[in-house]
A and B are shown apart, each in its own frame.
Chain A
Amino acid sequence: MKANAKNKKQSYWRLLGRQFLRNRLAVAASAILLLLLLTALSAPFLASGQPIYLIKDGKTYWFSNVVTQRDLANFDFRTWERKPGDYGIWPVVHYSPEESSLRNRLEPPSRSHFLGTDDRGRDVLSRMIWGTRISISVGFVAVGISVFIGIIIGALAGFYGGKVDMIAQRVIEIMMCIPVFFLIISLIAFLPPSIYNIMGVIGITGWTGVARLVRGEFFKLRASDFATAARATGLSDRRIMFRHLLPNALGPVLVSATFGVAGAILTESALSFLGFGVPPPTASWGEILSQSKRYIDFAWWLVTFPGAAIFITVTAFNLVGEGLRDAMDPRLRQ
């Protein structure tokens, strides 16, 4: 026991973390993802037409960039004549993503618009920042839904086998025969345009991979001695499935979910590009990209920046997924 006392309290996840940290590329990708997550969370502080803090006409306003202040909602700060004692702190980019200005249409990047403007004179950087929110949340929520469905169906099929498994397998096969993207487009066509519908549709069409993965793991695990021991202890099926088997099957699911987020972000961008995405005027990377179709001959900034954002995000998620997968592979462990 003395020998083991050194590496005391090493749960599986801790070991996994240590292994993951050795993969420099995956760690760099995680840093990028963290940055994106922070961008998404702090979007109102990074890009908004409203000030964070303002003293105007002797009145003090806090966080009008987050909470709508009635006095300021329709106030045009561009034509604002400062009186003495007036003071304001603005976000880094002081344009709201939906604020259009027809005089400034399709302006190339400049000091006032770092990444230029689109065909309605909206600031591209501001739209990119807010688009991060859409991409990240669509990615996570959609994958959350598909992982949830996948785990339930896969767990039932793998644990009970027999008829339950037969039915689940056939359903999965049918789902896999349908080209998912066209299914999504057809479903979206019937639904009112909303970001929640997009999340839901991507979620309920994407669970088959996770279900097969969980089913396979459960098939293997349910025959293990510790599962038999749990049954011999008299535990309920539900407890054996979710307390004993699931934690052991979670690793591969996590890997698959990470790749899934990348896929979902790509799908959302594609939908927005085709005009089936988030309803206007909401900003999304795919939507900015779709504008570029018409102006591609000169408005390079409309292609480059959202394209790069999608590419970097998807690549980062894939790299993290690969890092996790390698960290879990016992063959690569020394």
Chain B
Amino acid sequence: MNASHEFILRVRNLRTHFHTDQGIARAVDGVSFDIPAGKTLALVGESGCGKSVTALSILGLVPHPPGEVSGEAIEFEGRNLLAFSEAEMRRIRGNEIAMIFQEPMTSMNPVFRIGDQIGAVLRLHRGLSKAAAREEVLALMQRVGIPAAESRLEDYPHQMSGGMLQRVMIAMALSCHPKMLIADEPTTALDVTIQAQILDLLRVLQRETGMSILLITHDLGIVAEIADEVVVMYAGKKVEHAPVAALFAAPKHPYTRGLFASLPAMQQHRQRLYAIRGAVPAPTDFPAGCRFHPRCPYAMDCCRRDEPPLLETGDAHRTACWLHDAGVMAAQGKAPGLPPEAAP
């Protein structure tokens, strides 16, 4: 078994820091994960948790200065992207790893026709002729479900709806047969019925092409629909990592559990919602120890002092929380694990 081919991307101890007036913002601080080939890994977290910065770091798109990316490795098919030059990265971006964004409108150039914009990518990366590129664009647009694709080739971005533009973005991303797609909140700006269409499209395309997807989202509903594996991030740290079913069945980190509990479920009505107290700390001012401890209902002394390591808590289920450390809990005369569901 060759480990480097089982995983398309291996991120090892990634650190992305920003130097600001207020000090060093440790936006991503030692995050590791692997994406199996052909699978979807979701990075979940609230604003400021570092999930988007992680994606930008992988593609080498963090502005420097003020940003600084370091870490052990970002291994893409066995090659360390951290050691790549800007020119080498350009060959990777859009070609082997493609990315789609939350706001399709702002990612398109408003003065060029849709067909020309996708065509330009094809001609650049695949060296197609103008006519061949047009053929290919048409095929791509049909593939992502744009109706009357031929006539829409001549449209400008503002003539298309948000959902259509996101399809165009996906078509553009697919144009060079990438091995991996990074989707940064791809449906957040879209309406519910359109969002469902786009998620469906991503699922179908993944099945057809076998590409891996790194999905960045704050919406646990979307994670449940499309992800195979989930990494939950909080304040620049990975707090939990599990296969999707395991995570949703039994979240192990108090933060993850809090997130689930604060969702107004469709089934219940007018019950008081669980709320995680306080707010996410500023990235320049993360607390010592476990970064979640000021908001955690179970915080112990060691949480305020020492950063919890990532602990194996079950089959491929890992979480960074002292509650799961047998030694720490035994010292308190308790069994390791998250306390049973108590009304906080």
Contacts and interface: CB of A to CB of B under 8 A. Distances in A.
B282 A334 contact: no
B66 interface: yes
A262 B43 CA distance: 54
Given A2-B285, A3-B285, A334 B20 contact: yes
A7 interface: yes
A4 interface: yes
B282 A4 contact: yes
A19 to B, nearest CB: 10
A6 B284 CA distance: 11
Interface string B14-33: 00000111100000000000
Contact of A7 (B19, B22, B66, B279): B22
A191 interface: no
B145 interface: no
Given A7-B22, A334-B21, A1 B279 contact: yes
A333 to B, nearest CB: 9
A38 to B, nearest CB: 32
B21 A3 contact: no
Contacts of A7: 22
Contacts of A4: 282
Interface in A1-54: 1-4, 6-7
A334 B285 contact: no
Contacts of A2: 281, 285
Contact residue range for chain A? under 10
Contacts of A334: 19-21, 66
Contacts of A1: 279
Nearest to A333: B21
Contact residue range for chain B? 10 to 19
Contact of A3 (B19, B20, B282): B282
Interface in B275-290: 279, 281-282, 284-285
Interface in B80-107: none
A276 B129 CA distance: 69
A4 B283 CA distance: 12
A334 B18 CA distance: 10
Contacts of B282: 3-4
B66 A3 contact: no
Interface string A190-202: 0000000000000
Nearest to A19: B21
A132 B281 CA distance: 53
A7 B22 CA distance: 9
A7 B281 CA distance: 14
Contacts of B281: 2-3
A3 B22 CA distance: 10
A1 B285 CA distance: 11
A6 to B, nearest CB: 8
Interface string B129-162: 0000000000000000000000000000000000
B218 to A, nearest CB: 20
A334 to B, nearest CB: 6
A265 B284 CA distance: 46
A11 B66 CA distance: 25
A2 B285 CA distance: 9
A303 B66 CA distance: 49
Interface in B236-293: 279, 281-282, 284-285
Nearest to B281: A3
A334 B19 CA distance: 9
A140 B76 CA distance: 63
Contacts of B279: 1
A334 B66 CA distance: 8
Q: Max chain A CB contacts within 10 Å: which of B21, B279, B281, B284? A: B21
Q: Max chain B CB contacts within 10 Å: which of A3, A6, A7? A: A3
Nearest to A18: B21
A322 B20 CA distance: 23
Contacts of B66: 334
A7 B21 CA distance: 11
A186 B19 CA distance: 57
5 contacts: A1-B279, A3-B281, A3-B282, A334-B19, A334-B20
Interface of A: 1-4, 6-7, 334
- Interface pairs A-B: 10 shortest CB-CB: A3-B282, A3-B285, A3-B281, A334-B20, A334-B66, A334-B21, A7-B22, A4-B282, A2-B285, A1-B279
Given A3-B285, A4-B282, 13 more contacts: A1-B279, A2-B281, A2-B285, A3-B281, A3-B282, A3-B284, A6-B22, A6-B285, A7-B22, A334-B19, A334-B20, A334-B21, A334-B66
